[in-house]
Structure 1
């Protein structure tokens, strides 16, 4: 562990928060269930705030902002359990999967003025159902936050490969471990962020997207890593929603460490890695296609390596910070379990090959969504006095 990493941690661990998006589906058919309003109402009675998304077959949970991963663990477990209970009481299933197994009906758009505007502007793009996991890490100075994003760019494909959880769409294997990333990339403001010279450069690019109609509002900046438009955080959003809560906790801890390491690099004046935007897109495509089962594009050597080698390189990079956080043993064990057993995409494909039925895959995903989670308590999971909550 370097001296500077110790100094950064001694001055305060950056805040951390997690948003998870989930699919609602019909238990017998696996078809998308358009009951987000009913599930949200039931969820409020269970003490969990479930936000509506673009499609009525989705809900989102949000943690409060915590200073350490341990502050989030109980919230993530309880919010998944409460959301699953609310879905069951509404007659549907909650699934932690990156895409819907079948297309939703034409009237699936959530009827808010903003979502109606999006449907009018972007047409068929708004009919796809995609569920991601967004990790917020506190970086209050926007100038520094932009440089942090620059340092994060080379690690984004590996984060995607580790969490890929959407191989099946329209009832068939798409050939991609993360079909969600491919579908999401069709939006004009999605994909890996470009390299920015400054916060002003970042803001100028966003303003140009607004002026040219690529986006309707700043919240539609869909880059895989971005500045939050309403919080002093860097938001890493490249991941599919992980299949299990353990994988989400592991993802959050890794991203937390990556941001701490990137902040260290900025403070010490390290040169931003020279990563060509087209090569970064290619690496993200390879990660979406192969996940953990195939190859990864190493952006330093510009050669293909195994995805597992890329993950081990990531672990080596963040090991000093994980050690300082007291999380190295836990995260290393969790990553080794994923490498041995498979991430969400591998598990889904294995079940499909074994059973030959998408319905069996859906049942397995429903069980894994709440694996290791406790039953919901009748208390608000998100009412922590003095702490802001993600909208």
Structure 2
């Protein structure tokens, strides 16, 4: 099997020192010379698009450079670039970006759109065709909660400890076409479900398919969207490498993938969002509670052959152990605010 290429989109926040969203995205994007930056739904968000990468080292270099250049541009505009999935401070309702598509979304979806200043990470992996992307989607479904838990980075929202490791995923689930994708029998099955949603007006078009795995509407890739934006570049690279290995494993299998009990998958998502890496998750295929470190071991075992082919097995194992030891974004936010939340603590979260 040829090794599939990959690319990453990281959504990032622009905030004040105390974590209030700052609507400076257009100026910051214009000042980040050479970086592929997109404006997002709210004016306090920007998105980095990496080029197509063949190795994890290449991806790490690209994301490190892009984050640094964008952070410099943000500082020039008196704001801070923050890799976190929900605004630590401020108020829920945000200013919507002045692009026709986003203005139409605000008109159609009201407060749902205006309160949607949250940041995810989207990983694109090259696949042969749409049918392959559909098979990959089915195979990835059991592992999506584990990936969510690994990268959870939104414990603090609007000056509150939410009680969840990934509050972004809870907020994002309010959209009409979000969360884990259905089990698809074919590309035609996928197309029919999307066409139904467009026809009913629940979504504007195929670009509003926000399932956590989807065939890209404009690239020969499968796009995995389950994750909070990770706190660090190394965590993003770990996520992308695991997803790349999962896609390779699915393509090697060739089948349609396992069918799951929907309520088991729903419970696994909820536990991952609440507890992240600090509690139990669900081994979805057996519907049994498992400590998250054990689930991450099972994930590595599932993709072991692909990781060996990529030459990444040792680095992935070390990176996972580092996250479990040092904490992901949600753990580090909670460590910062363990004595309570006030303006000083919010400033510490941002720092």
* TM-score between both structures, scaled by the size of structure 1: 0.86
Tell me, yes or no, if the aligned pair for 2:216 and 2:223 is still in contact at 8 Å. Answer: yes
Aligned to 2:103: 116
Aligned to 1:19: 9
Aligned to 1:209: 197
Whether 1:198 and 2:198 are equivalent positions in the alignment is no
Q: How many angstroms apart in 2 are the aligned matches of 1:131 and 1:105?
A: 14
Q: Helix, strand or coil: the match of 1:188?
A: coil
Q: How many angstroms apart in 2 are the aligned matches of 1:179 and 1:274?
A: 27
In the alignment, which of 300, 303, 307 is matched to residue 285 of structure 2?
Answer: 300
Q: How many angstroms apart in 2 are the aligned matches of 1:283 and 1:364?
A: 28
Aligned residues: 350
Aligned to 1:388: none
Residue 140 (structure 1) shift: 2.6
Whether 1:35 and 2:24 are equivalent positions in the alignment is yes
Residue 104 (structure 1) shift: 4.4
Q: How many angstroms apart in 1 are the aligned matches of 2:279 and 2:93?
A: 36
Tell me, yes or no, if the aligned pair for 1:13 and 1:68 is still in contact at 8 Å. Answer: no
Whether 1:99 and 2:86 are equivalent positions in the alignment is yes
Q: How many angstroms apart in 2 are the aligned matches of 1:33 and 1:140?
A: 41
* TM-score between both structures, scaled by the size of structure 2: 0.96
Deviation by residue 1:267-299 (Cα, 9 ceiling, x = unmatched): xx4x62121223212211111011011111111
Deviation by residue 1:165-222 (Cα, 9 ceiling, x = unmatched): 0011120111110000000000011110000000011011111110011111211100
Whether 1:86 and 2:86 are equivalent positions in the alignment is no
Residue 325 (structure 1) shift: 0.8
Q: How many angstroms apart in 2 are the aligned matches of 1:216 and 1:189?
A: 11
Unaligned runs of 5+ in 2: none
Tell me, yes or no, if the aligned pair for 1:30 and 1:359 is still in contact at 8 Å. Answer: no
Whether 1:279 and 2:264 are equivalent positions in the alignment is yes
Whether 1:166 and 2:154 are equivalent positions in the alignment is yes
In the alignment, which of 25, 41, 44 is matched to residue 54 of structure 1?
Answer: 41
Aligned to 1:224: 212
Aligned to 1:69: 56
Root mean square deviation, CA, Å: 1.5
Deviation by residue 1:236-257 (Cα, 9 ceiling, x = unmatched): 0000000011101111111110
**1:308 and 1:358, CA in 2 relative to 1: closer, same or farther beyond 3 A?**
farther
Q: How many angstroms apart in 1 are the aligned matches of 2:215 and 2:74?
A: 32
Deviation by residue 1:276-324 (Cα, 9 ceiling, x = unmatched): 2232122111110110111111112212111121111111111221111
Deviation by residue 1:33-80 (Cα, 9 ceiling, x = unmatched): 000011011113xx2132110000000000111222222121011001
Q: How many angstroms apart in 1 are the aligned matches of 2:94 and 2:240?
A: 34
Unaligned runs of 5+ in 1: 1-7, 367-391
In the alignment, which of 111, 117, 127 is matched to residue 139 of structure 1?
Answer: 127
**1:53 and 1:64, CA in 2 relative to 1: closer, same or farther beyond 3 A?**
same
Tell me, yes or no, if the aligned pair for 2:9 and 2:49 is still in contact at 8 Å. Answer: yes
Aligned to 1:344: 329
Tell me, yes or no, if the aligned pair for 2:92 and 2:158 is still in contact at 8 Å. Answer: no
Q: Helix, strand or coil: the match of 1:305?
A: strand
Deviation by residue 1:121-148 (Cα, 9 ceiling, x = unmatched): 1111112211000000001311111011
